[in-house]
């Protein structure tokens, strides 16, 4: 089940919210846990047991770490090995088999397991919990129900943001509910849904048209690259908005995950704004333990490359993800040894163009199905392969999708948000009237798209 579905919007969510607010507080975690397991079971019934096993392992190891402090490190390592082992087995086994077959010219059969939805996200959460308990930054959760609720919590289970246990530890025991926070949550959910349905899905349809076309041109390759860059942002940030909104409805404050990354002027700044919860986790649980930048320059570079290799590999079991991660690792090293100072001195326009070109090429690499396709798509941007500069088909699609590109460009900046803030300061009564009308209209349009059966992919099922 996904948030951008009629089943979730009109059946699952209203029923869960109705029961959740009827029952007394002591039963709210139970309601959320059952709802979360049903949410997961709806999409991956056989892997619901896998998630429960992972949670049970983490729960037991946390209790043992706190009870037997002398052996805490052993229990921590044991828990991490089990969590990563399950992730590696289900997500990466076929990747390793394919590479072994290729290198040694053998024919080992693939396991062909379906990827457990959300396993990368909930594995990261359990590892962060167990490390925080080991570091005594959090106490081991004595209630299995509360720990299970934290891990399985359906708003952030499938696509994040990655919520650390310490972030909502207190809210598992005592959280406040108010009409204002609930209405803020609804607002955030509708905005996220609109980004997903009205922008990301339309861009996804454009990408699909490109993939099916036999008449490629330089212009069409650029249309594709820009569409991919915008689609990934609005798809993922839209889901993060919906998750944060759902959290607010239920009394949780999830961390922000995006801060207008496409207005960044460097790769360094970009990764302070893009998927911020993932970046902070790799920083705190990998980069800093390796020594961060408080080591020799060579080891510092090694630490950066290790983090970005893992970042790429975390996203998917394919070489394009690894290369995507390493690309950013190399670019960050280049910026840190001197390019960043140059970017700070040149006009903002130049640094922004640099960033957007790098990100666009990176997402073409990220989004490719095969390395040959990736090289073709990147080469097509500069006219390799004797492709024409323009075709009638590419002109047609440019005209057809021009409006969504313009909307995407504007919505990827804080322009609309800033205008709304200024309007609210100068004419709060007007905003109070207009806001529910606009949000209701957006929701109706989104539902119309869903009823119509419009293109509605979920990118992060792949990751």
Catalytic residues: 315
Helices 415-426 & 428-451, crossing angle to 10 degrees?
Answer: 140
DSSP state of 274: S
How is residue 20 written in tokens?
Answer: 């959740």
Q: Are 79 and 150 in contact (CB under 8 A)?
A: no
What is the rounded distance in angstroms from the CA atom of residue 87 to the CA atom of residue 460?
Answer: 16
The position carrying tokens 């082992």 is 85
Q: Are 233 and 412 in contact (CB under 8 A)?
A: yes
How many other CB atoms are there within 10 angstroms of residue 435's CB atom?
15
Give the H/E segment covering residue 402: helix 392-411
The position carrying tokens 């290790």 is 306
Question: CA angle 19-21-25, nearest 5°?
Answer: 105
What is the rounded distance in angstroms from the CA atom of residue 422 to the CA atom of residue 299?
Answer: 48
How is residue 100 written in tokens?
Answer: 């072994």
Length of the chain equals 463
């Amino acid at each position: 089940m996904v948030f951008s579905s009629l089943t979730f919007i009109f059946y699952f969510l209203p029923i869960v919210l109705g029961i959740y607010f009827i029952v007394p507080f002591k039963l709210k975690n139970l309601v959320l846990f059952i709802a979360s397991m049903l949410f997961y079971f709806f999409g991956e019934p056989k892997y619901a047991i896998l998630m429960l096993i992972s949670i049970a392992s983490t729960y037991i190891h946390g209790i043992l770490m706190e009870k037997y402090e002398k052996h805490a490190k052993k229990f921590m390592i044991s828990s991490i090995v089990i969590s990563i082992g399950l992730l590696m087995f289900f997500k990466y086994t076929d990747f390793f088999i394919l590479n072994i077959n290729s290198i040694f010219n053998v024919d080992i059969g693939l396991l062909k397991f379906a990827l457990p939805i959300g396993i990368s996200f909930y594995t990261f959460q359990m590892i962060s919990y167990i490390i925080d308990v080991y570091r005594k930054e959090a106490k081991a959760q004595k209630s299995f129900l509360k720990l299970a609720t934290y891990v399985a919590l359906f708003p952030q289970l499938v696509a994040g943001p990655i919520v650390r246990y310490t972030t909502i530890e207190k809210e598992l025991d005592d959280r406040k509910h108010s009409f204002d926070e609930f209405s803020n949550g609804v607002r955030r959910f509708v905005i996220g849904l609109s980004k997903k349905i009205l922008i990301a899905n339309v861009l996804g349809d454009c990408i699909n048209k490109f993939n099916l076309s036999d008449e490629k041109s330089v212009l069409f390759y650029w249309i594709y690259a820009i569409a991919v860059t915008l689609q990934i942002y609005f798809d993922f940030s839209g889901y993060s908005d919906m998750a944060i909104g759902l959290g607010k409805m239920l009394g949780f404050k999830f961390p922000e995950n995006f801060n207008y990354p496409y207005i960044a002027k460097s790769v360094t700044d970009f990764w302070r704004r893009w998927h911020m919860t993932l970046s902070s986790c790799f920083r705190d649980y990998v980069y800093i333990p390796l020594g961060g930048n408080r080591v020799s320059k060579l080891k510092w570079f090694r630490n950066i490359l290790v983090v970005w290799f893992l970042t790429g590999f975390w996203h998917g079991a394919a070489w394009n993800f690894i290369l995507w991660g390493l690309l950013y690792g190399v670019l960050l090293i280049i910026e840190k040894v001197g390019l960043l100072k140059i970017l700070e001195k040149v006009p903002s326009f130049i640094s922004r163009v640099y960033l957007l070109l790098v990100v666009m090429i990176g997402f073409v690499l990220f989004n490719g199905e095969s390395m040959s396709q990736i090289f073709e798509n990147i080469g097509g941007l500069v006219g390799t392969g004797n492709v024409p500069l323009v075709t009638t088909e590419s002109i047609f699609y440019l005209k057809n999708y021009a409006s969504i590109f313009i909307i995407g460009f504007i919505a990827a900046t804080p322009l609309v948000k800033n205008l709304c803030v200024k309007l609210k300061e100068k004419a709060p009564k007007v905003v109070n009237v207009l806001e529910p009308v606009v949000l209701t209209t957006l929701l109706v349009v989104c539902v119309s798209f869903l009823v119509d059966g419009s293109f509605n992919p979920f990118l992060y099922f792949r990751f």
